[in-house]
Chain A
Amino acid sequence: MSKEVSEEGKTHHGKDYVDPPPAPLLDMGELKSWSFYRALIAEFIATLLFLYVTVATVIGHKKQTGPCDGVGLLGIAWAFGGMIFVLVYCTAGISGGHINPAVTFGLFLARKVSLVRALGYMIAQCLGAICGVGFVKAFMKTPYNTLGGGANTVADGYSKGTALGAEIIGTFVLVYTVFSATDPKRSARDSHIPVLAPLPIGFAVFMVHLATIPITGTGINPARSFGAAVIYNNEKAWDDQWIFWVGPFLGALAAAAYHQYILRASAIKALGSFRSNATN
């Protein structure tokens, strides 16, 4: 559904949307504006709340006496997906609502955030994750230590390769959904209601948790895995930690490439081939 757009002063512009220019790789000017630091604080607080609610849900479930007494794995998956929905909704207009270094990495590869901002976000997210899990440990220390600390590890019966593959594909689903939700082409055609974007992103997190909790407890968020590993500080959690950084970053890379080069056809458009209509 393409809309007729009258553009004054623009020739040959049949599109009803405008792609923003690529973010500069190094933008030191950002360091001088309050909105940059406000965004960092927002990412820190969002990731703190995310880890606090989700890890508390995990420990609370495991703490119950009977196997049927807690909220169940379905409830845990809802906690992760639901919190992402809530927090992306709250911070979308402030920081873009990443709450996940893999999402930040994917958007950086797509030139939507600068290197300075990307690094700042990742650090804020990791610090927020540590503080969030720290709160959980402070509030329920004994069950936290005895029940696995909410840390991500490869479950018995699965190989490291399987876990890596699961993390890659899981993060691909999430970052691909983020790209679709934030695509300026879609925003123009959805009558510019970006507030609706957080729902599918939250659902994507929920879905991936349903699928991969049995395998790795589901990372797909390096800050989440890092925060739990730091506070729990267990050998196995650290042994497997590399999976929860390499996997998500590879998945984000694949999603960025898929969206930019296949769905948006950046390279093909540059070559001018396969041009079907001006709104493509």
Chain B
Amino acid sequence: MAKDVEGPEGFQTRDYEDPPPTPFFDADELTKWSLYRAVIAEFVATLLFLYITVLTVIGYKIQSDTKAGGVDCGGVGILGIAWAFGGMIFILVYCTAGISGGHINPAVTFGLFLARKVSLIRAVLYMVAQCLGAICGVGFVKAFQSSYYDRYGGGANSLADGYNTGTGLAAEIIGTFVLVYTVFSATDPKRNARDSHVPVLAPLPIGFAVFMVHLATIPITGTGINPARSFGAAVIYNKSKPWDDHWIFWVGPFIGAAIAAFYHQFVLRASGSKSLGSFRSAANV
């Protein structure tokens, strides 16, 4: 659906504007409260995310443990766990979208950094805040139910029996690709212009992407696709198996985010071919 737009300059018929690339180093950011507010928001959001989700995981395992007073079909089920992850991302992205961009995930931050939507300083600070928030969130869960927490695996991500390292890595790559690709689509200025600028709708598909990936990969790795989530649980649980497998939950998500950034920027938005001037089919491409 091409719209005829009369622009003041020649050849300007687009109904949207791409923001300019964010400067790589932007030291001026450090003097603004909005940066620190964004970092605090990311910290609190990741804390709440890990607290609710890991508490749901432990609660489910307690209630379904038939050898210790639980019952079959007790607890919210693995479906409920997936809802907890997806639903919390929806809520928290909704709450923090206008403040920090609502990343809550180092892989998302990394993908947006590659796409020049956040500066290096901001990206690094966000990742640190997310990891610290994750540690605190899981710390709360352990503080509330120390014996249960240790007995039922601490909500940590590790490779399930029957799956090899390559499978786990691939699952994390593709899962994170789905998530970051959805984030790019939801925040695309071209789409925003055509959806009548209602950014409140963006968090819902992002939350659903997390929900969908959890449905698919909980049996394989417990689903990381969020390095802060895996890191927070590994730190607090502090057993050798989660740490042995931990590299999968950083390498996989970061590769997935890079692929998503490349796919969105160079294939869907055709940045490369546009600058070459080839394949131009209509003025508003």
Chain A interface (Cβ < 8 Å from any Cβ of B) = 1, 67-68, 72-74, 77, 157-158, 162, 165-166, 169, 172-173, 176-177, 180-181, 183, 185-186, 189-191, 193, 196, 199-200, 203-204, 206-208, 210-215, 258, 262-263, 265, 268, 273-276, 280
**Cα–Cα distance between A1 and B198 once the two chains are bound (Å):** 11
Binds A, one of B137-145, B160-168, B225-233, B235-243: B137-145
CB pair B37–A193 under 8 Å, yes or no, is no
Grouping DSSP codes into helix (H, G, I), strand (E, B) and loop, the A interface class, with mixed when no group exceeds half, is helix
Among B41, B91, B99, B201, which residue has its beta carbon within 8 angstroms of that of A204?
B91
Min C-beta distance of A136 to chain B, whole Å: 22
Min C-beta distance of A140 to chain B, whole Å: 22
Closest to A269 in B: B33
CB pair A207–B84 under 8 Å, yes or no, is yes
Among B48, B81, B196, which residue has its beta carbon within 8 angstroms of that of A169?
B48
Mask for B54-74, Cβ within 8 A of A = 1, else 0? 011001001100000001111
CB pair B59–A213 under 8 Å, yes or no, is yes
| B274: A residues at CB distance < 8 A | none
Mask for B16-59, Cβ within 8 A of A = 1, else 0? 00000000000000011110010011001000100111011001
| A1: B residues at CB distance < 8 A | 197, 199
Query: Given the interface contacts A190-B199, A213-B59, A215-B144, does A74 sit within 8 Å of B33 by beta carbon?
Result: no
**Cα–Cα distance between A162 and B201 once the two chains are bound (Å):** 35
CB pair A208–B52 under 8 Å, yes or no, is yes
| A204: B residues at CB distance < 8 A | 91
Any chain A CB within 8 A of the CB of B253? no
**Cα–Cα distance between A1 and B90 once the two chains are bound (Å):** 20
CB pair B94–A180 under 8 Å, yes or no, is yes
CB pair A215–B59 under 8 Å, yes or no, is yes
Min C-beta distance of A20 to chain B, whole Å: 18
CB pair B37–A265 under 8 Å, yes or no, is yes
Any chain A CB within 8 A of the CB of B175? no
CB pair A203–B200 under 8 Å, yes or no, is no
Interface residues of B in 164-215 (CB under 8 A from A): 196-201, 203-204, 207
Closest to A276 in B: B32
CB pair B199–A169 under 8 Å, yes or no, is no
CB pair A158–B145 under 8 Å, yes or no, is yes
Task: State the 7 A-B residue pairs at the shortest beta-carbon distance, nearest first.
Answer: A274-B33, A214-B59, A68-B73, A180-B95, A276-B32, A67-B71, A211-B55
**Cα–Cα distance between A206 and B31 once the two chains are bound (Å):** 39
CB pair A207–B72 under 8 Å, yes or no, is no
**Cα–Cα distance between A189 and B94 once the two chains are bound (Å):** 13
Any chain A CB within 8 A of the CB of B88? yes
Among A196, A213, A276, which residue has its beta carbon within 8 angstroms of that of B200?
A196
CB pair A73–B76 under 8 Å, yes or no, is yes
Min C-beta distance of A89 to chain B, whole Å: 15
Any chain A CB within 8 A of the CB of B254? no
| A77: B residues at CB distance < 8 A | 76, 80
**Cα–Cα distance between A212 and B95 once the two chains are bound (Å):** 21
